[in-house]
Amino acid sequence: MTVERILRSLAGFLILLSLVLAFGYSRLWLLLAAVVGVNLFQSGFTNWCPGMTLLRKLGFRDCQQ
């Protein structure tokens, strides 16, 4: 898998997880969804995401264009 696909999958998983935890335990878990959403929003403008940097350092490859 490429960095981009892993990152999108991870973001979707974290948002769904935060929704499940918010309904099951505490509404404060919605802050996790907010953080992920803000990160996705800023990465759309800057084309940089901390998760991409971490995944590259772990050895995952970028998408070939």
CA angle 28, 31, 37 (to 5 degrees): 155
Residue 62 lies in a domain: no
Q: CA torsion angle for 65, 2, 58, 44 (degrees, to 10)?
A: 70
Domain that holds residue 39: 3-57
Residue 12 lies in a domain: yes
Q: What is the pTM of this model?
A: 0.85
Residue 13 lies in a domain: yes
| Domain total in the chain | 1
pLDDT in tens, the chain (65 residues): 899 999 999 999 999 999 999 999 999 999 999 999 999 999 999 989 999 999 999 999 987 75
Residue 65 lies in a domain: no
Residue 63 lies in a domain: no
